[in-house]
Structure 1
């Protein structure tokens, strides 16, 4: 069974990170307002990134890591801009 970490772009331009073992059903549930919380008032939503993992723990770890990222870093992930993603990660380490 595959597990997925995902990023949604909300109607207000914000991002939502989550994880699931059934990506299509989870996205549909978000879209239909069946999941209360952050995404409910921010529909419609667009799936902008996903990655598959072998275990739920790996997907959850990815979700938690991404939730802590800046908007610019999330956008670099979505764009597949690995150079910018790396630069943003290094800049954050330098600030810490």
Structure 2
């Protein structure tokens, strides 16, 4: 089983949300469809722009907490290092996940 830390965005340079999960495809779908009331539904944060994979839940949780403490520009730099065009990775998630231990 893999664990994921991810960043969702409303748009390039828009509102950002950082979370962690053990089922990235399901969690992204929940954000996109606004199935849970809260921050991401309220601010229309529905594009997966960055994620990282971990073998241990504890490491994913620690990384999530670290990123949540960061300044906004650091998060933007993290996103743009891997995804400079802010492409919605959620569209390709089913193609990407088999390679990261889903």
User: Same fold, TM exceeding 0.5?
Assistant: yes
Q: In structure 2, how many angstroms separate the alpha carbons of the residues matched to 1:76 and 1:49? A: 11
8 Å Cα contact 2:17/2:45 also seen in 1? no
8 Å Cα contact 2:4/2:20 also seen in 1? yes
Aligned residues: 81
Partner of 2:59: 58
Partner of 1:3: 3
CA shift, 1:43, in A, is 1.8
Greater RCO (Cα-Cα under 8 Å, separation 6 or more): 2
> How has the CA–CA distance of structure 1 residues 74 and 44 changed in structure 2, closer, same or farther, with 3 Å as cutoff?
closer
Give the structure-2-normalised TM-score: 0.73
Give the structure-1-normalised TM-score: 0.77
Which structure has the larger Rg? 1
Q: Which runs of 5+ in 2 are unaligned?
A: 83-102
Runs of 4+ in 1 over 2 A off after TM superposition: none
SS in 2 for 1:49: strand
Q: Which runs of 5+ in 1 are unaligned?
A: 82-96
CA shift, 1:30, in A, is 1.0
Equivalent residues in 2 for 1:56-95, closer than 5 Å: 56-80=57-81
Partner of 2:14: 13
SS in 1 for 2:76: helix
> How has the CA–CA distance of structure 1 residues 44 and 72 changed in structure 2, closer, same or farther, with 3 Å as cutoff?
closer
